[in-house]
Amino acid sequence: MDKPVAIELKNISKYFFGKVIANKNIDMTLYKGEILALLGENGSGKTTLMNMISGIYSPDEGHILVNGEEVSIRSPRDAFRYKIGMIHQHFKLVEVFTAAQNIVLGTKEGGRYSLKAINARVADISAKYGFEIDPQKKIYDMSVSEKQTVEIIKVLYRGADILILDEPTAVLTPQETEKLFDILRKMKEDGKSIIIITHKLNEVLAISDRVSILRKGEYVGTVITAETNTKELTEMMVGKKVDLKIDRPKTEYDRPLLEIRDLTINSDDGSKAIDNISFYIRGGEILGVAGIAGCGQKELCEAIAGLRKIVSGQIIHKGESLIGLSAKQISEKGVSMSFIPEDRLGMGLAPSFSITDNMMLKNYGDSRGIFVDRNAARARASALIEKLEIVTPSTETPVRRLSGGNVQKVLVGREIESGPNVIVTAYPVRGLDINSSYVIYDILNEEKVKGTGILFIGEDLDVMLALCDKIMVICHGKVMGIVHAEKTDKEELGLMMTGSLDLTEEKKEKRLGIAKDSNLTEEEWIEGAQKEADNG
């Protein structure tokens, strides 16, 4: 290949805190006018490497060549000078500013800024690549996909020719992803060079020209996308043969563990987040919850865990009502909840605490006397690290120093370690690489076989179809239907997610979401509802 080179990396190394190896002797080339996918597991150093090109970090060793000339990129400003722009995974936007203010931020054109001129240029860029954006809208009013659009326009506004996108599709719906890919293809036709980091192999195959693979901070190799397949890519990434099939073990357990009837929950702003839903989870089954982000998933999790007040309805665990119990009491009954928010650190773990300390958060009350039992917690932390292959220097490293996937393993691992009989888990594999995701699926299946009931709130429909026994689809807080994973497909789920298909109407007489062998008799349910109404 004798295409002109946009960026060449030679022998790049980067160490954190002097000893943790983030990148080691990386050689990589980005040609002009191509889309290069950068693939690697969590903690393999993809983001670190890209941060060095965009001036957030500086390499400890090695050379970066842009258009054939050796350059030193010490700050984002330097990167812009070489026409390099990065769209970070965690958006770097000022929430209280408008789109236009964010776009113009830091550009050096005169002391005052003219909104007219900015709007005109934003409109130009939007028309050229097909963006839809309102420059006067505040960031905090925007959806995730709109925020991403602002980020992309921001780097184009600065005249970037080389764009780096760090996991841009992690937070997008399939339709939004398709739209983004169209835009990226248009940019490519326009001669821009693009590096895209993603975990999703089907996306790599759909969008990229070539794929470069990193493993544990080292460069593995580059392949041409047209000449490779999912299996080869996975093996290069993981370093060993991986079975890509998700298991769905058959189980015998069948009593309903958690039964939810006519549940209504409000969101923070007082609107209905969950609207009159009924469902149940049996022991030894995984019930998936599918829905577009923000359809009440978070509120549902919080209500079950006792973190949020409900408006009406009943939550029955093994025949006993959970309503009015504290989060601690619910957790003691064996209902565990792990919610992985978009920023992954937001819930459940204390970022500055070590793994050991985070292990203790859940059950420090069990040890006798006034002192906490650190040794036992440390032993449990070590066991967890070994079992889940958590990459960490020690049990005493603050969890915020770990990479995203490893943080997640700590959280999910701790929840499961407490021996729950109902697991509510939301987005447990959010942003995780294949290997770590499979570790999590395996853990969930292991629990399922033990007879635990699992509520799995997920994003990836392919995974849910393979892993879950049943899938409940919600749209704007309403149940659109509960289907057997074996008897449905992506199209049907997609239609239900957008509200175009409502199975509850079609199968009214079947009373979806109500178990025939309920722990309570019909009279007891009515009595409970009556009591609930009296209290409210």
Residues of the shown chain interacting with another protein in the complex, contacts defined by CB under 8 A: 16, 54, 56-57, 75-77, 79-80, 86, 88, 91-97, 101-102, 104-107, 109-113, 138, 140, 154, 158, 400-401
The CB-of-88 to another protein minimum distance in angstroms stands at 7
The CB-of-158 to another protein minimum distance in angstroms stands at 8
Residue with tokens 């969008």: 207
The CB-of-111 to another protein minimum distance in angstroms stands at 5
**Smaller CB separation from another protein, 406 or 425:** 406
Q: Which amino acid type is present at position 66?
A: V
CA angle 291, 295, 297 (to 5 degrees): 85
Long-range contacts of 384-391 (CB under 8 A, 24+ apart): 384/355, 384/359, 384/409, 384/410, 384/413, 384/414, 384/417, 385/355, 387/413, 388/413, 388/439, 388/443, 389/436, 389/439, 390/355, 391/43
The CB-of-57 to another protein minimum distance in angstroms stands at 6
β-bridge mates for residue 170, sequence order: none
Radius of gyration of the chain (CA): 25
The CB-of-370 to another protein minimum distance in angstroms stands at 28
Q: Hey, CA dihedral for 202, 205, 207, 211, is it positive or negative? A: positive
Whether 64 and 29 have beta carbons less than 8 Å apart is answered as no
**Smaller CB separation from another protein, 158 or 430:** 158
Tokens of 50: 């890209």
**Smaller CB separation from another protein, 79 or 385:** 79
**Smaller CB separation from another protein, 107 or 276:** 107
Of 90, 196, 214, the closest CA to residue 151 belongs to: 90
The CB-of-95 to another protein minimum distance in angstroms stands at 6
CB-based contacts of 481, cutoff 8 Å, min separation 6: 472, 473, 496, 501, 502, 503, 504, 507, 512
**Smaller CB separation from another protein, 14 or 380:** 14
The CB-of-149 to another protein minimum distance in angstroms stands at 16
DSSP states of 133-161: --TTSBGGGS-HHHHHHHHHHHHHHTT-S
**Smaller CB separation from another protein, 216 or 401:** 401
The CB-of-310 to another protein minimum distance in angstroms stands at 22
Structural element, H or E, at residue 279 = strand 272-282
Of 292, 305, 400, the closest CA to residue 349 belongs to: 400
Whether 468 and 249 have beta carbons less than 8 Å apart is answered as no
The CB-of-296 to another protein minimum distance in angstroms stands at 23
Q: Is 334 left (phi over 0), alpha (psi -120 to 50) or beta?
A: left
The CB-of-56 to another protein minimum distance in angstroms stands at 6
**Smaller CB separation from another protein, 248 or 401:** 401
Q: Hey, CA dihedral for 485, 437, 194, 401, is it positive or negative? A: positive
**Smaller CB separation from another protein, 113 or 181:** 113
**Smaller CB separation from another protein, 150 or 480:** 150
**Smaller CB separation from another protein, 329 or 352:** 352
CA angle 4, 179, 138 (to 5 degrees): 105
Give CA–CA dist 77/92, Å, rounded.
15
**Smaller CB separation from another protein, 78 or 492:** 78
Tokens of 353: 């605490």
What are the CA-CA distances from residue 128 to residues 131, 183, 187 (Å)?
8, 9, 9
The CB-of-118 to another protein minimum distance in angstroms stands at 11
